[in-house]
């Protein structure tokens, strides 16, 4: 399989793969302390398609410091009748994803996204009101055949669920980061606040020479484990996705705007 790097959304140079991952890691490490602990923020989605961001893209967007989970490209914002504030124009968040091409090639592409809080013209976000979040998490544990002890703390319960999904661990710092992230992803999906301090400590425990790709792989693994945990469970506190309507455009342009944006 041939790997290629392709830039989109007006980028004039092809991004170098190691540099892309390092940029993402540096931004996450820089912003994690100021990341929102609200569960909504940790369930980011495209406000035009309703698609959720997962894995590395989810971590990058959730750690950007916004409470609102809605994200759009600049073009999508314009078509939705929103305006990106002047002071936010240069503060978009780049996310990356792989796209399969012809002859078994895989292109690494980038989109720049803006949060709804950086815009004018969108309706106010209606924050989730979690109901019986602890009970919801206990139900998920039972569906995953995890023993639920009376009075167990939600953090410990989420850890037990994720560790069951991950299997026997070797105790590496990379496994610890993936597990810690998966726990926080799972908590958010049940309406529980995210412990950004735990995440920061796990990230800082990574070896000094670890690459940006290492953290991205951890985030993608975390997304996989949390998805597996909720596949057979009825989540009571998933956010209600509040999408916006785009203005009509020619079919060719409209198709292009719907390109899939996801984690690596």
Q: In whole angstroms, give the CA distance from residue 133 to residue 189.
A: 9
| Cα-based angle 34, 136, 264 (whole degrees, multiple of 5) | 50
In the predicted model, what is the mean pLDDT of residues 87-115? Answer: 88
235 domain-assigned: no
Task: Write out pLDDT tens, residues 197-248.
Answer: 999 999 999 998 888 999 999 999 999 999 999 986 666 567 788 988 877 5
CA distance 190 to 109: 31
In a domain, 263, yes or no: no
Is 168 found in the same domain as 68?
A: no
φ and ψ of 105, to 5 deg:
-85, 155
**Residue 27 domain flag:** yes
Q: Please list, residue by residue across 126-141, b when 16 or more beta carbons sit within 10 angstroms of its beta carbon and e when fewer do.
A: eebebeebeebbbbbb
Q: Are residues 46 and 87 in the same domain?
A: yes
The whole-number pLDDT of residue 98 equals 80
Does residue 146 sit in the same domain as residue 109? no
Q: Establish if 28 belongs to a structural domain.
A: yes
Residue 66 located in a structural domain: yes
Same domain? 84 vs 160 = no
Residue 101 lies in a domain: yes
Q: What tokens were used for 119?
A: 């815009």
- Is residue 169 domain-shared with residue 223, that is, in the same domain? yes
Q: Are residues 114 and 202 in the same domain?
A: no
Q: Are residues 55 and 121 in the same domain?
A: yes
pLDDT, tens digit, for every residue of 178-201?
999 999 999 999 999 999 999 999
pTM for the structure as a whole: 0.84
| pLDDT score of 16 | 58
261 pLDDT more than 50: no
The reported pLDDT for the residue numbered 62 is 97
45-87 pLDDT per residue, tens: 999 999 999 999 999 999 999 999 999 999 999 999 999 999 9
* One domain, residues 208 and 223: yes
Question: Does residue 260 register a pLDDT over 50?
Answer: no
What percentage of residues in the chain have a pLDDT greater than 90? 61
27 and 86 co-located in one domain: yes
Q: What domain count does the chain have?
A: 2
Residue 65 or residue 18, greater confidence = 65
Task: Clarify whether residues 88 and 149 are in a common domain.
Answer: no
- Kindly state whether residues 148 and 206 are assigned to the same domain: yes
Report if residue 237 sits inside a domain: no
Could you give the percent of the chain with pLDDT greater than 70? 84
Residue 262 counted as domain residue: no
Distance, first Cα to last Cα, the chain: 16
Domain that holds residue 147: 133-230
Do residue 172 and residue 211 come from a single domain? yes
8 Å CB contact between 249 and 79: yes
């Amino acid at each position: 399989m041939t790997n290629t790097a392709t830039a989109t959304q007006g980028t004039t140079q092809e991004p170098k793969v190691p540099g892309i991952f390092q940029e993402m890691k540096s931004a996450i490490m820089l912003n994690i302390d100021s990341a929102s602990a609200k569960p909504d923020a940790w369930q980011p989605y495209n406000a035009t398609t309703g698609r959720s961001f997962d894995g590395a893209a989810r971590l990058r967007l959730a750690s950007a410091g916004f409470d609102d989970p809605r994200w759009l490209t600049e073009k999508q914002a314009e078509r939705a009748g929103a305006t990106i504030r002047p002071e936010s124009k240069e503060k978009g968040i780049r996310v990356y994803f792989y796209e399969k091409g012809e002859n078994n090639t895989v292109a690494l592409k980038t989109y720049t996204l803006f949060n709804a809080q950086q815009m004018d013209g969108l309706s106010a976000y209606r924050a989730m009101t979690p109901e019986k979040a602890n009970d919801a998490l206990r139900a998920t544990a039972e569906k995953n055949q995890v023993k639920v002890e009376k009075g167990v703390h939600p953090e410990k319960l989420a850890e037990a669920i994720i560790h069951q999904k991950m299997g026997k661990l070797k105790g590496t710092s990379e496994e610890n980061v993936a597990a810690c992230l998966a726990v926080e992803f799972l908590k958010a999906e049940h309406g529980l606040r995210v412990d950004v301090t735990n995440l920061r400590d796990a990230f800082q425990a990574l070896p000094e020479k670890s690459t940006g790709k290492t953290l991205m792989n951890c985030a993608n693994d975390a997304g996989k484990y949390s998805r597996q945990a909720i596949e057979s469970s009825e989540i009571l506190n998933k956010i209600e996705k509040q999408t916006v309507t785009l203005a009509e455009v020619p079919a060719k342009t409209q198709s292009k705007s719907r390109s899939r944006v996801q984690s690596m």
